[in-house]
Structure 1
Amino acid sequence: MQVGIVAQKGNPRAAYLADDIREALSDRDVTVWLDEATATALGADGYGMDRFESCDCIVAIGGDGTFLYAAHHAGGTPILGVNLGEVGFLNAISPDDAEEAILETVEALQAGEGTVREVPRLVARTDEWASSPAANEIVVQGPRRGRGGGVDYEIRVDGSLYSGGHADGVIVATPTGSTAYNLSERGPIVHPGVDTIIVNEMVAERGMPPLAVPLDRTVSVTLTGAETGVVVSDGRDPKELSVPVEIAIERSGPPMRMAGPSPDFFEALGKLS
């Protein structure tokens, strides 16, 4: 059994907890790998994220951002989240219960009895490029936001025109991402059990309300009226593209896989207020 551990960078509490979990797993003959930042914080050598796709599960210690960072490198490896953040839509395990819950989950996975939930990811594509998979959202925008910025755009769903005009950009989000960037742009909150893609315009001059479409649809965003556009996957890896350009956004594999106890969605919602 191999387990990867990622602790929130720059958070001593997360590093100390990672060390405790590493020792507890090692005592049970589990091979533990650390990301480079966690290894540096603990004075360990010879670790890196390149090992994580071959692990049987990954433990992410921190906030939802740490969980997404682990997911970015995990492929289809299940992830356990320990919540040190303020909300915790992805991280279900409290720090006080972390060691016991992680050991129980690892033992269950070893026995082939562990529960693993799958949540969708999205990918953005052009004819010559594809983004990294996004668990929260794909953002398509102009070279800069705000007054005098933005980009001209058209949004189509399976080829049918939905909206267009001038805006800072467009967010295409999963249910997981509905409470992230989408919510800050006044998009709808979607329960994680609903299979949908959310389409939300960012500061549109004349737009349409946010739209929810089935998960198997393709959302295309065509950009014009600017020299370049930018595509961002989960806030990472911004890609500058020459305009005009059409970006197709659709469900991607593998899904993000979550192990261990399920987060309480409504409890996490209550922490937003």
Structure 2
Amino acid sequence: MKNIGINVNTTKDLNEKMLNFIIEDIHSIDKNVNIKVYRDCVGLDENESDTLDIIIVLGGDGTILNTSKNVLRSKTPILGVNIGHLGFLAQVEISNVKTALERLFAGEYTVEERDMLQCSYDDGNKIRKYDGLNDVVLCRKVNSRIQRYDIYINNTFYNTFRGDGIIVCTSTGSTGYNLSAGGPIIHPSLNVLCLTPMYSQGLTARSIILDSSSLISITSRKEFEDVYLSVDGQLCIKINGLNPLKISRSENKRRLIKFSNNNYFNTLKEKITFKVKGYEGEIYEGN
């Protein structure tokens, strides 16, 4: 491992104390490693990523998702170091970064390939396409009235939901916005898509788990106002909801570094239960 990129979220590391700490740790393991620093993804794109052996992301889940967007087609693996909120996508906490780096240089890790989503729609001039690791969300404006959304799966009508919007997520993204909207937690080894209505008026409105090869098409009745498209929470675009938003599995994959001691269920316990209860002022009763 000779070329390492570090993408740091400057809002979470204002004085670059964490960044310098990691650089010092890397050089204490191998002083000949070339390190290139990117701040808030500036200068980091697919071509730049291909010159690197690994990208270390210093921030939270949003920073990892933003990095993923910038290096979309790159095969370079990403290692997340959490200095954010939950950091569910991150494999490393800043408290044990030295040990993690030693294991990284010793080759004691695997690379997971996670499915991504692609959404497309006709804006009247061209077909726009966007890829995401977590989710695609079609929703109303905050201060507008609820909308009606027609859902088609593999060109067959599925249902109409009246509510705030529709979330389609990967298994990776199931613990994000989908979970907040009442959707299920899905193990990342499952190659599926999950469609979750957002706060629908219908009591029978529930999530549905679909094969990852499914094609989902969503249109809005546009009874009141335009609807908005969000991909991984990294962009928000007003679109004409009368034109179908088509969502399917992307051809791109996101490669993430994984250490063997990071058990998924322990991560759920620590980051979904323990941290959330801690932020809410409750005591976690587990071990």
TM-score, with normalisation over the residues of structure 2?
0.81
Q: How does 1:54-203 map to 2 (within 5 A)?
A: 54-75=51-72, 76-106=75-105, 108=107, 115-127=110-122, 128-142=126-140, 144-145=141-142, 148-203=144-199
1:167/1:3 Cα in 2 relative to 1: closer, same or farther (>3 Å)?
A: same
CA distance in 2, matches of 1:16, 1:174: 34
Query: Are 1:32 and 2:35 matched, yes or no?
Result: yes
Equivalent position amino acid for 1:266 in 2 = F
Equivalent position amino acid for 2:163 in 1 = A
Shift of 1:62: 2.6
Query: Are 1:49 and 2:50 matched, yes or no?
Result: no
CA distance in 1, matches of 2:250, 2:112: 16
Match 2:217 to one of 214, 217, 220: 220
* Range 252-261 or range 182-191, more displaced: 252-261
Cross-structure match for 1:11 = 12
- Paired residues of 1:163 and 1:208 also in contact (CA < 8 A): no
- Structure 2 residue ranges without an equivalent (≥5): 274-287
- Paired residues of 2:10 and 2:39 also in contact (CA < 8 A): no
- Paired residues of 1:122 and 1:137 also in contact (CA < 8 A): yes
CA distance in 1, matches of 2:38, 2:152: 40
Identity among equivalent positions (%) equals 27
Q: How does 1:230-241 map to 2 (within 5 A)?
A: 230-241=228-239
CA distance in 1, matches of 2:17, 2:180: 33
- Paired residues of 2:121 and 2:129 also in contact (CA < 8 A): no
Shift of 1:186: 0.5
TM-score, with normalisation over the residues of structure 1?
0.84
Query: Are 1:265 and 2:264 matched, yes or no?
Result: yes
1:230/1:209 Cα in 2 relative to 1: closer, same or farther (>3 Å)?
A: same
1:93/1:13 Cα in 2 relative to 1: closer, same or farther (>3 Å)?
A: farther
CA distance in 2, matches of 1:85, 1:265: 19
Q: How does 1:239-254 map to 2 (within 5 A)?
A: 239-254=237-252
- Structure 1 residue ranges without an equivalent (≥5): 39-46
- Paired residues of 1:136 and 1:234 also in contact (CA < 8 A): yes
CA distance in 1, matches of 2:90, 2:59: 8
* Range 72-81 or range 21-30, more displaced: 21-30
CA distance in 1, matches of 2:81, 2:253: 20
- Paired residues of 1:87 and 1:268 also in contact (CA < 8 A): no
1:173/1:243 Cα in 2 relative to 1: closer, same or farther (>3 Å)?
A: closer
Shift of 1:243: 3.5
Shift of 1:7: 2.3
CA-to-partner distance for each residue in 1:73-97, whole Å, 9 max, x for gaps?
Answer: 2333210112234533211223233
**Aligned pairs, number:** 259
CA distance in 2, matches of 1:176, 1:137: 9
Equivalent position amino acid for 1:71 in 2 = S
1:106/1:79 Cα in 2 relative to 1: closer, same or farther (>3 Å)?
A: farther
Equivalent position amino acid for 1:81 in 2 = G
CA distance in 1, matches of 2:113, 2:14: 29
- Paired residues of 1:123 and 1:130 also in contact (CA < 8 A): no
CA distance in 2, matches of 1:88, 1:243: 33
SS of residue matched to 1:205: coil
